[in-house]
């Protein structure tokens, strides 16, 4: 029951995030970057649903555009981590011996680099931006996928149908594609949902520090940074992006918990 509730709540929140992001591609109440000097710090309600910021920009429109940036950032970061980490984990789990050890040590080497430090280095070399930040987050997240994939691969490799495939003289790539990958996709999806939430937080943090999404593109983290000086006079400017980040991360974590319990029901109620 608990896993079903988590899964449903997480699915609804994630679906809402995706819906807002897709809607922002074709419609927003106002131009997110349009400044109206006569409507600075307008109160929520009426003409502007969530009010305006200190530059007269519509907060609701900027939140919608920020949702698009958030989804893009998560997809890029998780995609890089998945495409890098899963092959490493599968190769390590299937090979064993010195090759498996080498792959695992490479994963540990990547794990030694904090994502924020890597983002700072890449920003210094290539310039700050959403893509640069997410490449750093993706590389830093790859070891998590590698370890999860390796553990799942070791479980699959101990199954009897793998012995049958070997007796049938199937090659290792064929066994990986035909038997291993389809049987570890569930745990990879769970890891992806958790990593997506981490990527959202990382993008917001990097944008807040000026290392993520560059202006004038709207970002939830940059909205927090721009409104911090008005925290006591106009606190709602910090409230809206903060709630958006919290809802997105909560939804993905609930979705991940629900999926994890579905994959392994023995974990329900253990945490």
Residue 271 reports pLDDT greater than 60: no
Count of the separate structural domains present in the chain: 1
Q: Is the dihedral of CA 64, 65, 70, 72 positive or negative?
A: positive
Least trusted range by pLDDT, from 40-49, 51-60, 109-118, 168-177: 109-118
The arithmetic mean of pLDDT across residues 4-13, rounded, is 90
Element (H, E) at 126: helix 115-126
pLDDT at 269: 46
Looking at the domain assignment, is residue 194 inside a domain? yes
The pTM of the full predicted model, rounded to 2 decimals, is: 0.89
Looking at the domain assignment, is residue 152 inside a domain? yes
DSSP for 172-208?
HHHHIIIIIHHHHHHHHHHHHHHHHHHHHHHHHHHHH
pLDDT at 244: 97
The arithmetic mean of pLDDT across residues 208-234, rounded, is 90
Using pLDDT thresholds of 50, 70 and 90, give the confidence band for residue 167: confident
The arithmetic mean of pLDDT across residues 96-107, rounded, is 78
pLDDT at 14: 96
Residue 64 reports pLDDT greater than 50: yes
Looking at the domain assignment, is residue 173 inside a domain? yes
pLDDT at 196: 95
* Separation of alpha carbons 219 and 226, rounded Å: 10
pLDDT in tens, 12-29: 999 999 999 999 999 999
List all residues 6 or more positions away from 38 whose beta carbon is below 8 Å from its beta carbon.
56
pLDDT at 216: 83
Looking at the domain assignment, is residue 103 inside a domain? yes
Looking at the domain assignment, is residue 142 inside a domain? yes
When the pLDDT of each residue in the chain is averaged and rounded to a whole number, the result is 88
Q: From residue 16, how far is each of 48, 60, 64, 120, 251 by CA, in Å?
A: 21, 15, 11, 32, 9
Looking at the domain assignment, is residue 115 inside a domain? yes
Looking at the domain assignment, is residue 35 inside a domain? no
Looking at the domain assignment, is residue 38 inside a domain? no
- Pick from 4-8, 46-50, 53-57 the range whose average pLDDT is largest: 53-57
Q: Which residue has the higher pLDDT, 31 or 264?
A: 31
CATH of the domain at 199: 1.10.3720.10
* Separation of alpha carbons 74 and 261, rounded Å: 23
Q: Is 215 buried (19+), middle (13-18) or exposed (0-12) by CB count in 10 A?
A: exposed
Using pLDDT thresholds of 50, 70 and 90, give the confidence band for residue 53: very high
Using pLDDT thresholds of 50, 70 and 90, give the confidence band for residue 265: low
Residue 222 reports pLDDT greater than 90: yes
Residue 270 reports pLDDT greater than 50: no
Domain that holds residue 217: 2-25+54-267
pLDDT in tens, 117-138: 787 788 778 877 888 888 988 9
């Amino acid at each position: 029951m608990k896993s079903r509730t988590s899964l449903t709540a997480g699915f609804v929140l994630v679906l809402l995030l995706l819906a807002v992001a897709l809607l922002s591609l074709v419609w927003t109440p106002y131009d997110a970057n349009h400044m109206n000097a006569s409507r600075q710090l307008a109160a929520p309600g009426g003409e502007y649903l969530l009010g305006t910021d200190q530059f007269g920009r519509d907060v609701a429109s900027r939140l919608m555009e920020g949702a698009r940036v958030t989804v893009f950032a998560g997809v890029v970061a998780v995609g890089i981590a998945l495409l890098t980490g899963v092959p490493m984990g599968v190769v390590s789990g299937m090979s064993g011996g010195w090759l498996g050890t080498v792959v695992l040590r490479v994963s540990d080497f990547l794990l030694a680099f904090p994502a924020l430090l890597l983002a700072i280095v890449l920003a210094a070399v290539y310039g700050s931006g959403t893509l640069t930040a997410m490449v750093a987050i993706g590389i830093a997240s790859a070891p998590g996928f590698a370890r999860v994939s390796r553990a799942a691969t070791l479980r699959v490799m101990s199954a009897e149908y793998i012995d049958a495939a070997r007796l049938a003289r199937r090659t290792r790539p064929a066994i990986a594609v035909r038997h291993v990958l389809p049987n570890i996709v569930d745990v990879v999806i769970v890891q992806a949902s958790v990593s997506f939430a981490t990527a959202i937080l990382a993008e917001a943090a990097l944008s807040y520090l000026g290392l993520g999404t560059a202006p004038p593109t709207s970002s939830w983290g940059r909205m927090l940074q721009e409104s911090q000086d008005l925290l006591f006079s106009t606190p709602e400017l910090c409230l809206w992006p903060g709630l958006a980040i919290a809802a997105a991360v909560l939804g993905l974590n609930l979705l991940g918990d629900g999926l994890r319990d579905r994959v392994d029901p023995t974990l329900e109620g253990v945490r």
